[in-house]
Amino acid sequence: MSLDLKPKKWAGALREVTLGAGSRRPVAVGGGNGLPLHTFEAAFPHRPALALEITDVDPVRWVESVRQPWEGVLGRPAEAARRAVADFGADLLLVHLMGTHTDRGNRSPEQAAADVGAVLEAVNVPLIVKGPGAGQKQNTVLARVAEDCRGEGLALHSATNEDYKTLAAVAVAYGHALVGESPIDVNMAKQLNILLADSNVDLNRVLIDPLTGGLGYGLEYSYSVMERIRLAALGGDAMLNCPIVCLVGEEAWKAKEAKVPADKEPLWGSQRERGIHWEVATAMTLIEAGAEVVVLRHPETLDRIRKQLDSWFGSEPSHDREGVVQNSFRATDEHR
């Protein structure tokens, strides 16, 4: 009996969004016309892109095992960027201007723009630039960065339903992309895109950040909302078919389970490995749900996720595809 597994065809496809312009080596994401990773029945012009997060000031709350690979460059964004690209192989970077927050140094918009400028000089990958969080300061900081770095095709993070006008305007004026953030809700994600489109933002330059719940802390909500956004996009909804970006590192490393040392919880195993596994599991799960850009903190996570994605998207034909599972602990037929 032969198996009649019909490939699933969809009416719609994701928009293709290109990050980076000007002096950047651009990275395009999205464009696929099937469920995430369903390469057996759909076409995906681009693989999910992997970003590393760098910060303008020393991120003192990062746990030791994430600080370790960045030793010597924390709080020095240009050097961190160089390491992230040259040593760790990031496709793009998220520059988190956390130091501009009023409680974390209150750095000025000028300083922020200078920091981003230094990163642009240090590396040629596209940048996502994340402000200090919702509010007036966020807008002044990102507007200044947008202006000073015009033409570089940055992705500004982030516009929300309550506050999008300033960022929409500067993104359009200075040639940047925009990340629209909404709290784990399909309708709010759609509403925001409608608002952005009404403000003359080209949705081919928009990424959706549906807000990430980390493993054990709301991951299931993000997972299902992302699946539903993807299904809507494939169903032809032109207001929900932007690629999704997930800030994985930030959420994964917030978890107590990623941070507690082994001697405090003997059954939990090594803290270093556990933390990386926490980030790997969060990232992999969200890529399965439809993330097209994941932002990570630990370079080892990036390396491991890249190896996984090579299996789906690698240029080299995957070896032994039709072969059987060969694990060291499983005997093979020869033993019989």
Partner 1 sequence: MPLTGLQIFKLLPNTNCKKCGYPTCLTFAMKLAAGKEALEKCPDASPEAKAALGAASAPPIRGVTVGRGDRAITVGEETVFFRHEKTFVRHPGLFQIFDPAGLTAAERDAKLDHWRAIRIERAGETFQVDGIAVVETAESVAAAVAASDRGFPVAILAATLPGATAIAERIKEHRPLLVPPAGANLEGYAALAARLGIPLVVGAPDLASLADAARDAARAGVTDILLEPPGADPRLLHHSLSAIRRGALDRIHPGLGHPVFLCVGAGEIEKAVLGITKFASLVALADCGGETWLPLWTLRQNIYTDPQKPLQMDPGLYAIGEPNDRSPLLVTSNFSLTYFIVSTEAEASGVACHLAVVDAEGLSVLTAWSAGKFSGDRVAKALREMKAAERVSHHTVIIPGYVPVISGELEDALGDGWHVLVGPQEASDIAPFFRDVWGPLARDLGTHP
Q: Select 72 or 327, whichever has its Cβ closest to partner 1.
A: 327
**Residue pair 99/57 in contact by the 8 Å Cβ criterion:** yes
Answer with the entry of partner 1, ligand B12, none that 175 interacts with (C-beta below 5 to 8 A by kind): none
Site residues (vs ligand B12, CB under 6 A): 183-185, 188, 211, 213, 217-218, 221
3-state secondary structure of 177: strand
Q: Select 40 or 236, whichever has its Cβ closest to partner 1.
A: 40
Query: Minimum Å distance from CB 221 to ligand B12?
Result: 4
What's the token pair of residue 122? 């240090």
Q: Select 36 or 213, whichever has its Cβ closest to ligand B12.
A: 213
Answer with the entry of partner 1, ligand B12, none that 39 interacts with (C-beta below 5 to 8 A by kind): partner 1
Query: Minimum Å distance from CB 38 to ligand B12?
Result: 25
Query: Minimum Å distance from CB 188 to ligand B12?
Result: 6
Site residues (vs partner 1, CB under 8 A): 1-5, 8, 35, 37-40, 215-221, 223-224, 227-228, 231, 256-257, 265-271, 273-274, 277-278, 280-281, 284-285, 288, 304, 308, 311-312, 318-333, 335-336
Answer with the entry of ligand B12, partner 1, none that 265 interacts with (C-beta below 5 to 8 A by kind): partner 1
Q: Which of 312, 311, 308 is nearest to 300 (CA)?
A: 308
**Residue pair 48/245 in contact by the 8 Å Cβ criterion:** no
Q: CA dist 280 to 139, 228, 317, Å?
A: 32, 22, 24
Q: Select 71 or 322, whichever has its Cβ closest to partner 1.
A: 322
3-state secondary structure of 244: strand
Answer with the entry of partner 1, ligand B12, none that 211 interacts with (C-beta below 5 to 8 A by kind): ligand B12
Q: Select 1 or 60, whichever has its Cβ closest to partner 1.
A: 1
Query: Minimum Å distance from CB 305 to partner 1?
Result: 8
Answer with the entry of partner 1, ligand B12, none that 273 interacts with (C-beta below 5 to 8 A by kind): partner 1
**Residue pair 177/17 in contact by the 8 Å Cβ criterion:** yes
3-state secondary structure of 85: helix
Residue nearest to ligand B12 (CB): 218
3-state secondary structure of 272: helix
Q: Select 75 or 216, whichever has its Cβ closest to partner 1.
A: 216
Q: Which of 303, 213, 293 is nearest to 255 (CA)?
A: 213
3-state secondary structure of 27: strand
DSSP state of 279: H
Answer with the entry of partner 1, ligand B12, none that 319 interacts with (C-beta below 5 to 8 A by kind): partner 1
Counting every residue written for the chain, the total comes to: 336
Task: Centre a 10 Å sphere on the Cβ of residue 321 and count the other Cβ atoms it contains.
Answer: 7
Q: Select 183 or 236, whichever has its Cβ closest to partner 1.
A: 183
Query: Minimum Å distance from CB 251 to partner 1?
Result: 13
Query: Minimum Å distance from CB 191 to ligand B12?
Result: 10
Answer with the entry of partner 1, ligand B12, none that 321 interacts with (C-beta below 5 to 8 A by kind): partner 1
CA 204, 28, 316: angle at the middle one, nearest 5? 150
Query: Minimum Å distance from CB 325 to partner 1?
Result: 5
Buried b (16+ CB within 10 A) or exposed e, 274-288: bbbbbbbbbbbbbbe
Q: What is the CA radius of gyration of the chain?
A: 20
Answer with the entry of ligand B12, partner 1, none that 329 interacts with (C-beta below 5 to 8 A by kind): partner 1
Query: Distance between CA 59 and CA 54 in Å, rounded?
Result: 9
